[in-house]
Structure 1
Amino acid sequence: MGENTALKALPLKDLHIAAGAKFGGFAGWDMPLTYPLGVMKEHLHTREKAGLFDISHMKLFTIEGKQAVEFLNRACPLDASKLAPSQAKYTFFLNEQAGIIDDLIVTRLSDLRFMLVANAGNAEEDEAHMRTIAKGFEVTVTPLDRVFLALQGPRAAEVAKRVGLDMEGLVFMQGKETQKGWFVSRSGYTGEDGFEIGLPLDDARPFAEKLLADADVEWIGLAARDSLRLEAGLCLHGNDITPATDPVNATLLWPIPKEIREGGSFVGAEAFRIIREKGATQKRVGLKADGRQPVRGGTSLVTGDGVHAGAITSGGFGPSADHPVAMGMIAKEYADGATPLFADVRGRRIAISIHPLPFTPHRYFKG
């Protein structure tokens, strides 16, 4: 029962206030949840044009030094030596039980220099985790003080070109340092084409204002960011994956290269191999509730006989899908969809069916 800790403010908070944002707490930060446009229109604007998100609550780190590759191979289940310059990779930090401490993106900037982007709520734990591992390697872990913006949507590339963003040669899951203090990657959390841009505060304000002056661009809040990522079938750490979830049961083996699954020496490797050998007992799945009522995270899933089958981990309404969308963890025996399942909403049962992920097609630019 500790004292309430003050929420951290985004460096560009005054711009969000001027834009009429409504704020709320998320991962220790005072975040813009919605703007006057409203969640539904913000979501659809991103799918149709270009949405601008302030994601400065997320944390960027540089990893550099003679043993940067060896360090990353210990810290994550990947082979950093296989990353080409500018190539980015979705990966994890695991604990010794193979639970997911965080999911993150690592980008190779040069032979011995990498950029790592961590989730807001885990940034301090991630840094401590890295510093513990780094003691055994010739490597420097440096947290960066940056404004972080995401430009997402089918017109993101056109807008980026109009404002002079250096995106030359970048395709999905590639990134580079474009000028002093700037990091630009072609990635995002919406299922759309787009860019994530880390830049110094002095550069960020004029750059954000230039973006907002473009007729195709609107500020988009955290609420629409959530519905966009959920339609795209993308996990939210703390909901869909947690330190109690391993990549096997979370259906997230695909980011781990086959040779690393079998022979990697990453933290949690031994526990991971035991879990993989035994096989998954659960599965992360997409779920669609009958009707129009969204079914929220934490809702229990049961069979017609009332047997507990799992739980919703994230849920809401998908404006582009035009129906409720959810993800959940269910017992493996129900993963084939043959057994009718129900969401238990305060004693009322809502029929729910397994639905392929994503709910809306990914539209990443792959060249």
Structure 2
Amino acid sequence: MPDDHAMDEAQRTPLFALHESLKARMAPFAGWALPIQYPSGILREHAAAREAAALFDVSHMGQAFLRPKSGKLKGAMLALETLAPVSVAGLAEGRQRYGLFTSPEGGILDDFMFANLGDALFIVVNAARREHDFGHLRAHLSDACELEELTDRALIALQGPKAEAAMMALGARVGEMRFMDVAETALAGVPCLVSRSGYTGEDGFEISLPADRAEGVAEALLEQPGVAPAGLGARDSLRLEAGLCLYGSDIDETTSPVEAGLPWAIQKIRRRGGAREGGFPGAERILEELESGPARLRVGLLPEGRAPMRAPTPVFASEDAAEPIGTVVSGAFGPTLGGPMAMAYVPTDHATPGTRLYGEVRGKRLPAQVASLPFVPHQYKR
């Protein structure tokens, strides 16, 4: 049951009244009151995203513009590269990319999304790290950039194979957009900043729009065929089936991008031999791990029974091993997968798909197989 005091103290998104009218079960998350599920239940909400379209309220995420003080966006892009091991300056206008803030020790301070709008970068960060991330940017980039935190914007995500049709029925010009494209368009007559992205593994859109117009737009979307409201429960099962990391669970300051299986997020130009090699916090460790490999890796696990292996289930190399070799960081039942799934960190020599490991659940060693990620194939529009 949600903590009543925490709920009273939690901030409300612009869609709070809509969630209540739809009889959502609300709970505090990262300081915000958010829907966990609606009366239809998590399984149906999950299925809506896979088969039709699911609408999520993600207004708790932090949104900001990063603008160059010089007037040239390239300067702001290169400045952001001093905090993240990704190619910011190589991002074309109208495109979005996944990024990571790293620590001097090579750990992950947060993951975030950034888009090139031509005259500014649009940045979206995790709610629980919002204050940290924006403070981090101001502390290190204030000479080159101005950070404008957007406190009057909502953010909603429409995910699933019918998302495009629902958007276009309300006048949004999104038919030509591909995965990670970003564009300004009108949705139900409201100016919006739309990216073709999301965190479910499905095709879909994330929509930044004025807070005072969000409820009307959300209601208009929910009136479209196949669109259903969905909460954090379905969002978590969808992202886990898609093999996507949740900050604070699967990645944090103790994990490096390479350990986390995120080397794809570090473009060649930032690696050894690249034109803009290194120059980011933790570069020595991260570049070494990219070349020589890390000591441990994030892997998928498929328990052989029906019992889920949730965090922090200890993982053992054998049924009778004395000490664990790893730990489950996320685990749940996969509705599309039709069985339990988990992600864990294990030594690299135990990370090959097909390797049999054991999770200790309620005092019993239960077998699981290391599996390739994602558990359910992504359906992005390329």
Q: Within the alignment, does 1:255 sit opposite 2:261 as a pair?
A: no
Aligned to 1:268: 282
Write out per-residue CA displacement over residues 165-217 of structure 1, whole angstroms, 9 at most, x where no aligned residue: 23253210111233686210000011111000010022212111101111311
* TM-score calculated relative to the size of structure 2: 0.91
Q: Within the alignment, does 1:348 sit opposite 2:364 as a pair?
A: yes
Q: 1:172 to 1:338 in 2, by over 3 A?
A: closer
Give, in whole Å, the separation in 2 of the partners of 1:194 and 1:117.
Answer: 17
Give, in whole Å, the separation in 1 of the partners of 2:108 and 2:177.
Answer: 29
CA contact (8 A) 1:212 1:218 kept: yes
Matching residue within 154, 162, 168 for 1:161: 168
Residues 88-127 of structure 1 mapped to structure 2, 5 A cutoff: 88-110=96-118, 112-127=119-134
Q: Within the alignment, does 1:240 sit opposite 2:260 as a pair?
A: no
Greater mean alpha carbon deviation, residues 263-272 or residues 118-127: 263-272
Aligned to 1:187: 197
Q: Within the alignment, does 1:82 sit opposite 2:90 as a pair?
A: yes
Write out per-residue CA displacement over residues 1-22 of structure 1, whole angstroms, 9 at most, x where no aligned residue: xx96921112210100110100
Matching residue within 223, 232, 245 for 2:233: 223
Give, in whole Å, the separation in 2 of the partners of 1:339 and 1:43.
Answer: 29
Aligned to 1:19: 22
Aligned to 1:320: 336
Q: Within the alignment, does 1:140 sit opposite 2:118 as a pair?
A: no
Q: Within the alignment, does 1:8 sit opposite 2:11 as a pair?
A: yes
CA contact (8 A) 2:355 2:370 kept: no
Give, in whole Å, the separation in 2 of the partners of 1:210 and 1:338.
Answer: 46
Q: Within the alignment, does 1:129 sit opposite 2:136 as a pair?
A: yes
CA contact (8 A) 1:42 1:218 kept: yes
Aligned to 1:303: 317
Dislocated runs of 4+, deviation >6 Å: none
Give, in whole Å, the separation in 2 of the partners of 1:354 and 1:278.
Answer: 22
CA contact (8 A) 1:303 1:339 kept: no
Identity over aligned residues, as a percent? 40
Once superposed, what is the RMSD of the aligned Cα atoms? 1.7
Write out per-residue CA displacement over residues 115-165 of structure 1, whole angstroms, 9 at most, x where no aligned residue: 11111111110001101111342x111111211000000100011111122
Counting matched residue pairs gives: 362
* TM-score calculated relative to the size of structure 1: 0.94
Q: 1:225 to 1:253 in 2, by over 3 A?
A: same
Write out per-residue CA displacement over residues 228-252 of structure 1, whole angstroms, 9 at most, x where no aligned residue: 0000111111111111110111111
Residue identity in the other structure for 2:66: I
Residue identity in the other structure for 2:63: L
Q: Secondary structure at the match of 2:86?
A: coil
- Which blocks of at least 5 consecutive residues in structure 1 are unaligned? none
